[in-house]
Amino acid sequence: MKTGKIYRLICAFLAAAVMIPLASCSKKDGSDKAPAAFGPYGASVARELADKYPFRKAYSEGERGAGEFIKTRFEELGYDVKVQEFSGSAGRLSHNYIVSIEGKGFFDENGDEVRRKVVIGAHYDDALSELDTAGGYNGISDNASGIGCILTIASKIRTYEDMGFDIDIVAFGAGLSDYAGAYCYFNSLSGEERDQIEVMYCIDSIYAGDKMYASAGLNSLNPNKKYEMRRKLYQAYDVAYDRELASKNGYSLLYNESNIIADINGDGSPDIFREVSNRPSDYVVFDKAGIPVVYFDSCDYFFDTLEEMKETKNLQLQQFGGNIRGTSLDASSVLDPIFVSDDEDRLEIRINNTAYVILESLMKGSDHAMTEAQYEQYLKDLKEGKITESTVPSESMGEGAA
């Protein structure tokens, strides 16, 4: 299938103003509900995981127990869970927990079925062990919060009809050990399966930082691929803006707009530090493979230099220079008294709204193929003469235009 041709065809539908809506109106539970009204489930699971398994360092017994906890929660939601075992350099074992959801698929211009895949992942290990002096540490932000988010997605994705994508939701083991779980998962895929991946959504440490960000991968710093690699990022932002999540839910999803000039990707050339992150996570594996990524985390990029950037300016959380991850401040006993009140729970807000942004982004469909509804409309427009050569945009309107 020629993706440029598919893209031009879909652009033609837009030009003819006959595109079929694919967003929240396609949910079974109606479109009149408040956006991201998912309840306390995700935050409750995150806190339970953190409290039961506070020390989840890669390859530890705590990590193993946390993984089994996550597996059980997936199974309670009715999923079959694939357990993927791998070992570290010392032969110690860790595991990925994978839930696969088959979508309805897509079509090319000839009516042939096209499979497109999305990976949604978060690591469940954390930074400290019982040997560290950690006080009440339990890794609630890094990364029980991310696990609460992927479980929320798993709990709600079935309420979305006409999902075209095949979805893998993955709880990565040993994420803080050079992304070992993400590498294991990616390396287990066939070449065809890798080619099918349209985007990888990564959720990491979304509780403690001052602001919520969505970022593209460093592969988007290539000027010839900037738009191609950031298109899914822009879709996520569109969801947050169009659904008015800031005013309705107190959830502002930001771009990094610092515009600092520096060698961000280590290739020896200066880059503009914008719409990417300097905080690596499991997305790195996919980013290096040239796959678009959308990385959700909480931080603060409003500084003049890369060295100044930290997670929070909150005066109550400056013991480690404004950093939370990997410190004793990453603890429910520290963060909850600051960010939870009778009226608001930051953890619940961020988990639910991040999950909502991802789910609604998925309903925007593929950038490289047509949904069944789009294909039927395409055939109808061809028959009625609504699509002609003059309505199909030129190749320059496709990938790499920005």
Residues 179 and 249 in one domain: yes
Q: Which domain holds residue 394?
A: 1-20+371-402
Residues 361 and 274 in one domain: yes
Report pLDDT for 388: 59
Residues 359 and 380 in one domain: no
Residues 61 and 176 in one domain: yes
Residues 384 and 325 in one domain: no
pLDDT at 22 over 50: no
Residues 235 and 265 in one domain: yes
Tokens at residue 259, please?
A: 């515009």
Share of residues in the chain with pLDDT > 70 (%): 88
Kindly provide the b/e burial profile for residues 66-79, where b requires at least 16 CB atoms within 10 angstroms of the residue's own CB.
bbebbbebbeebeb
Residues 236 and 147 in one domain: yes
Residues in CB range of 77: below 8 A, 6 or more apart? 151, 154, 155
What is residue 99's three-state secondary structure?
Answer: strand
Residue 262 belongs to what H/E stretch? Answer: strand 260-262
Report pLDDT for 386: 78
Residues 185 and 231 in one domain: yes
More confident residue, 388 or 48: 48
Residues 347 and 389 in one domain: no
pTM of the model as a whole: 0.90
pLDDT at 20 over 60: no
What is residue 135's three-state secondary structure?
Answer: coil
**Domain count along the chain:** 2
Residues 321 and 184 in one domain: yes
Q: Does the N-terminal peptide bond of residue 143 adopt cis geometry, omega within 30 degrees of 0?
A: yes
CATH of the domain at 293: 3.40.630.10
CA distances from 292 to 14, 131, 361 (A): 23, 38, 14
Closest to 164 measured CA to CA, from 363, 30, 374, 389: 363
Residues 199 and 267 in one domain: yes
CA distance 194 to 186: 8
Residues 175 and 224 in one domain: yes
Report pLDDT for 229: 97
Dump pLDDT digits (tens) for 240-262. Answer: 999 999 999 999 999 999 999 99
